Amino acid sequence: MKIAVIYNRESRKVINLFGTPNREKYGLASIRRITNALKKGGHQVIALEGDKDLIDRLEDFMPQVVKNERPGLAFNLSYGIQGQARYTHVPGILEMVGIPYVGSGPLAHSLALDKVVAKMIFRQQGLPTPDFAVLDAPGFEMPELKFPLIVKPKNEAVSFGIKIVNNETELREAADIIFEQFEQPVLAEQYIEGREINVGIIGNSPPEAFPPAEILFGEGGPRIYTLEDKTRKSGREIGVQCPAELSEELGQKAQKIAMGAFKALSCVDCARVDMRLDSDGNFYILEINSLPSLGEHGSYVQGAAAVGMDFTALVNRLVEVASARYFGTPTPPEFAPGSKQPEEVAFNFLTGRRDAIEKRLEEWAAVSSRTDDPIGLQTAQKKLDDCFAELDLFPVRDLTDPPHVQTWETRAGLDGGTLLIGHLDVPLPLNASPEPFHRDPEYLFGEGIGASRAPIVMLEYALRALKTTKRLRQAPIGVLYYSDEGKDNRFSAKAIAKAAARAGQVLVLRAGNAGNMSINQRRGQRKYRLTVEGKPRKLGSTAVRSPEPLGWICHKLEDIAGLSSRKDRVAVSAVDIRPEAYPQLLPHRVTVDLLMSFPHAEAAEALEARMRGLLGKGGPRWNLTLVSHRPAMVSKRNVKGLADGFRRVAEQWEIPFGVESSLWPSAAGLVPAETPVLCGIGPCADGLYTNQEAVSRISLIQRTLLLTEVLLAQGKEAK
């Protein structure tokens, strides 16, 4: 399990330092000891400061999970940075963002930290606690309590400001110091002469009490555990004896009172109850520590040792009791141990490898394979070939045309099965600045990461999951990767159409759209090159009858753009203009690249005819040439069953899924009309073909799971 150990030590990353500062800190040695214990328990661990950057760091370490996925857990050690009820700040954040955690919630922490409220609740529940009074400000009226008294800040812990006073003068002096240093009311309570007994509590339903531990005070000084004692500045040795030398009856009485206090304040998982035992055998609750110290020599750790739990066992036991509280089991929810159901095996395989999936994506993002980079493409092709060879996929020779197309298939072959199509090239110019891989809590960034790299990794891990279930061999699956997306499938179109004709259904591994949408219909796209030529002429010349080419084409381009129609779902526009001229003369040749979008071939032909009509006769010489043609992906009735299969799996795992149309063309338009095809199967991405291209982290695992389950279903049918 992923576990984030959250603490407060040095960080002051807040918007403003304002309010009562926290004076409690965990030592670095203690934090390391806790993280090492968790690692020994087999957990993946990170230590984080509980400051304003906590949410981003947690989301980066343990991103959003899918239904039934093993979630991460926070091991809360945080005392807060500043302000009232600061113990509640990190638990409140964790509850807000939906991360389970070890330890009590905000309510219990706030009650425990407010010593007066806690004592009032103890009294209501019939639990013994010393008589007390609250001193609100300097000049207070003397409380009706007998000296000696013990004074302490109302909302502090770790013995801050604690002192025994024997008369009114000492009381006022001690209280004034607390008013000044801590800026809060003072708790004055009857001092109980006797022994100090601590009882640690662990677990829930029911909680269990450790054997009582006794604090052994050294020679000299007050018989209370002061801050100077805890920071080893008092000059005396304070020891812990566990179990304490108590009769069985007194020991059980102490445990019963401790568990009563634990329940009264709604604590969970762990706490330490501090009590005094007088000479008559009466226990009095001093306070309850809802964040018991896990310091090496503390009474809580000693209590665990007394029942046979060393430090590693104690820390991992705290994880177990929190897991039981959240999930009803000693560990977060998972399918039944030893389950052989392939869906369950595949789910556990994928969700247990989210870090590996993202690491693999980082490796792929480091491989540059732009459309016009033959060396980069060759490197990427070799990497892909090695991956599929490891998965026992075999090259399909008659559907492979290096360097433009590579095709593989399982032992069952692709005929009548599922063909998965993706592109290996990244259609960026060679002079574009590379975008290195990086992440934020929600997205992974990198060159081609959404359009090409994430679909590759998604496919790889879907096939690895199938192999783990022993269903890959009998599943009829083919994989085709082409390397001319940036050249509009100029060289790969025939192989794609041929392979698709042999398949029973086709899935195109393009990025999904925002809102977790896949694509069942895409516009087609044509690129034209228009060349206009005239005679060279001087600036201001009026002798030449034929129009100036640049001025003429500018007017015509405005007319051509006017052919676009939302109603007819067609659009056309110039995307590049390149004039040519001799020195000191006006341009005599102009080359224009035109881009056309259309819903079907007939609309494209009609629009081209209208363009030619607008160019007409009587002007400069012109020539309109079709450079590339990407057919439209037309919606088909037979694709409904394919989309419904994805939708059923998505509903099972509570993954958002839908289908829509898109203006962008893809290889899906090359699939024969009789073959069902669904596009946009890849993870949802943003900023495609820009230097801010990114893929959604949760979508990466969601779409990998979706693809895996759909392929498993087909393998089951084939079997």
Residues 595 and 676 in one domain: no
Give the Cα separation of 356 and 666 in Å (integer): 29
Q: Residue 230: in which H helix or E strand, if any? A: helix 227-230
Q: Is 83 exposed, middle or buried (0-12, 13-18, 19+ CB in 10 A)?
A: middle
* Final residue in a domain of this structure, among 267, 298, 327: 327
pLDDT digits (tens, 9 = 90+) for 655-685: 999 999 999 999 999 999 999 999 999 999 9
Residues 703 and 569 in one domain: no
Residues 39 and 7 in one domain: yes
Residue % of the chain over a pLDDT of 90: 73
pLDDT on residue 528: 98
SS3 content of the chain, % helix, strand, coil (to 5): 35, 25, 40
pLDDT on residue 486: 96
Give the Cα separation of 75 and 506 in Å (integer): 46
631 token code pair: 């057919």
Indicate if the pLDDT at residue 89 is higher than 80: yes
* Final residue in a domain of this structure, among 570, 601, 628: 628
Give the Cα separation of 696 and 458 in Å (integer): 12
Q: Does a structural domain hold residue 137?
A: no
List the single range of 39-48, 82-91, 129-138, 310-319 with lowest mean pLDDT: 82-91
Q: Residue 292: helix, strand or coil by DSSP?
A: coil
List the single range of 128-132, 233-237, 450-454 with lowest mean pLDDT: 233-237
Q: Does a structural domain hold residue 221?
A: yes
CATH code of the domain covering residue 608: 3.30.70.360
Indicate if the pLDDT at residue 229 is higher than 60: no
The pairing of beta strand 658-662 with beta strand 517-522: parallel
Q: For residue 558, what is the DSSP state?
A: H
Residue 639: pLDDT band by 50, 70, 90 thresholds? confident
pLDDT digits (tens, 9 = 90+) for 568-589: 999 999 999 999 999 999 999 9
Give the Cα separation of 413 and 502 in Å (integer): 10
pLDDT on residue 85: 81
Q: Does a structural domain hold residue 308?
A: yes
Q: Does a structural domain hold residue 163?
A: no
Cα 629 to its chain centre, rounded Å, is 40
Helix 454-468 to helix 354-365 angle (10° resolution) is 140
Residues 356 and 483 in one domain: yes
Q: Residue 290: helix, strand or coil by DSSP?
A: coil
Indicate if the pLDDT at residue 225 is higher than 80: no
CATH code of the domain covering residue 35: 3.40.50
Cα 536 to its chain centre, rounded Å, is 62
Residues 197 and 318 in one domain: yes
Q: Does a structural domain hold residue 711?
A: yes
CATH code of the domain covering residue 248: 3.30.470.20
pLDDT digits (tens, 9 = 90+) for 62-82: 888 888 777 889 999 998 888
CB 378, CB 403: distance < 8 Å: yes
Residues 497 and 436 in one domain: yes
Give the Cα separation of 376 and 133 in Å (integer): 78
Residue % of the chain over a pLDDT of 70: 93
Indicate if the pLDDT at residue 11 is higher than 70: no
Compute the average pLDDT of residues 333-352.
71
Residue 19: pLDDT band by 50, 70, 90 thresholds? low
Q: Does a structural domain hold residue 577?
A: yes
Give me the half-sphere count of Cα atoms (radius 13 Å) on the Cβ side of residue 146: 3
Sign of CA dihedral 302, 308, 314, 319: negative
Which residues, 6+ apart, have CB-to-CB distance to 227 below 8 Å? 158, 159, 160, 162
Indicate if the pLDDT at residue 226 is higher than 90: no
The parent domain of residue 547 ranges over 524-628
Q: Is 223 exposed, middle or buried (0-12, 13-18, 19+ CB in 10 A)?
A: middle
Residues 477 and 568 in one domain: no
Total domains in the fold of the chain: 4
* Final residue in a domain of this structure, among 628, 646, 674: 628
pLDDT on residue 329: 59
Residues 658 and 540 in one domain: no
Residues 491 and 609 in one domain: no
Indicate if the pLDDT at residue 335 is higher than 50: no
Indicate if the pLDDT at residue 233 is higher than 60: no
Closest CA to 239 of 229, 231, 249, 253: 229
CB 154, CB 140: distance < 8 Å: no
Mean pLDDT of the chain: 90
Of residues 348 and 261, the one with the higher pLDDT is 261
Backbone angles phi, psi at 147, to 5 degrees: -75, 150
Give the Cα separation of 679 and 45 in Å (integer): 39
Q: Does a structural domain hold residue 599?
A: yes
Residue identified by tokens 């209501």 is 124
Residues 323 and 403 in one domain: no
CB 99, CB 58: distance < 8 Å: yes
Give the Cα separation of 368 and 453 in Å (integer): 10
Residues 464 and 551 in one domain: no
Residues 556 and 454 in one domain: no
Helix 106-113 to helix 89-97 angle (10° resolution) is 170
CB 410, CB 475: distance < 8 Å: yes
pLDDT digits (tens, 9 = 90+) for 587-604: 999 999 999 999 999 999
Indicate if the pLDDT at residue 635 is higher than 90: no
- Supply the pTM of this predicted model: 0.78
CATH code of the domain covering residue 713: 3.40.630.10
Of residues 569 and 161, the one with the higher pLDDT is 569
Compute the average pLDDT of residues 263-278.
96
Q: Does a structural domain hold residue 493?
A: yes
Give the Cα separation of 35 and 319 in Å (integer): 12
Give the Cα separation of 523 and 601 in Å (integer): 10
Indicate if the pLDDT at residue 464 is higher than 50: yes
CB 1, CB 73: distance < 8 Å: yes
Q: Residue 19: helix, strand or coil by DSSP?
A: coil
Q: For residue 453, what is the DSSP state?
A: I
